A and B are shown apart, each in its own frame.
Chain A
Amino acid sequence: NAGVTQTPKFRVLKTGQSMTLLCAQDMNHEYMYWYRQDPGMGLRLIHYSVGEGTTAKGEVPDGYNVSRLKKQNFLLGLESAAPSQTSVYFCASSGRLQSSYNEQFFGPGTRLTVL
């Protein structure tokens, strides 16, 4: 069981470039999330998905798009990267909300630098 995996682990982009971050989970979880972590800010929710084919906006969605074509994968896209998107990105997944606690399991993170 790999849990939640993210690719790539590190990436450097130039302003205006695009890229996609891939998150995969092998726990058959319904819910998946993308967070960003900035110094002194904690983790903030970018987008989330409650199931295959569905996505919704979180707290800080501007400049990002997501897709969930398969239950196990959740993609985060940056169409035109900006320096303000320099951050560490975490993916997480969790089971049905009816389950106790609905604990979120996190991936190892992707450090993205936009020059």
Chain B
Amino acid sequence: SYVLTQPPSVSVAPGQTARIACGGSNIENTGVHWYQQKPGQAPLLVLYADSDRPSGIPERFSGSNSGNTATLTITAVEAGDEADFYCQVWHSGSDHWVFGGGTKLTVL
């Protein structure tokens, strides 16, 4: 089965840039999608197809995907960005959808 690996936690000061990695074998060959989940809430799509933003998601959220690592980047981090972030791909070989283990973003 396909595995996505994320760091358990990332911490940044307000106004700084947060980068959350998502590792997977040859992940660059598939689209990566990112979700933000705040405590007690359902997940919210923040990026799809590596770097596209749904309507309403600030430009501060961006993404990239190369080699074995996809990255979610949040610039000018705000206190309200504090949440768990999950990457997700569709694994065509098994017709399974796969989530990373999640990264807790802490704004110091």
Partners in one complex: no
Chain A residues at the B interface, C-beta cutoff of 8 Å: none
